[in-house]
Amino acid sequence: MNPLDVLVLQGLPVANAFETIGKGFGGLFGLLGLIFLIWGVVSVVRSSLSTGPKVLWVIAAVIFPFAGPLCWLIFGGAYRQRV
């Protein structure tokens, strides 16, 4: 038996506090991920690429909300400006 289960059985709200903190961080990371996704899509749309690659980058960003914008950041517009 988990030690927190004993506290819950005794009526102490310790486990509930941990659940609340966990949900708060999940919401924060979800919001940051959404902001990152929106930034990635806007950055792709505003880039100087032709329509075909833009569509592919946006699809990649939507399908892979963290990896898509991250790949765009590493290999996309900023990479083209450095090379």
pLDDT recorded at residue 22 = 62
The vertex-34 CA angle with 32 and 40, nearest 5°, equals 105
pLDDT recorded at residue 33 = 85
* Segment 21-70, tens digit of pLDDT: 666 667 778 888 889 899 999 999 998 888 999 999 999 988 988 888 88
pLDDT recorded at residue 42 = 93
Quote the pTM value: 0.63
Instruction: Quote the CA–CA distance of 51 and 2 in Å, as a whole number.
Output: 55
For residue 13, pLDDT over 80 is answered with no
pLDDT recorded at residue 17 = 57
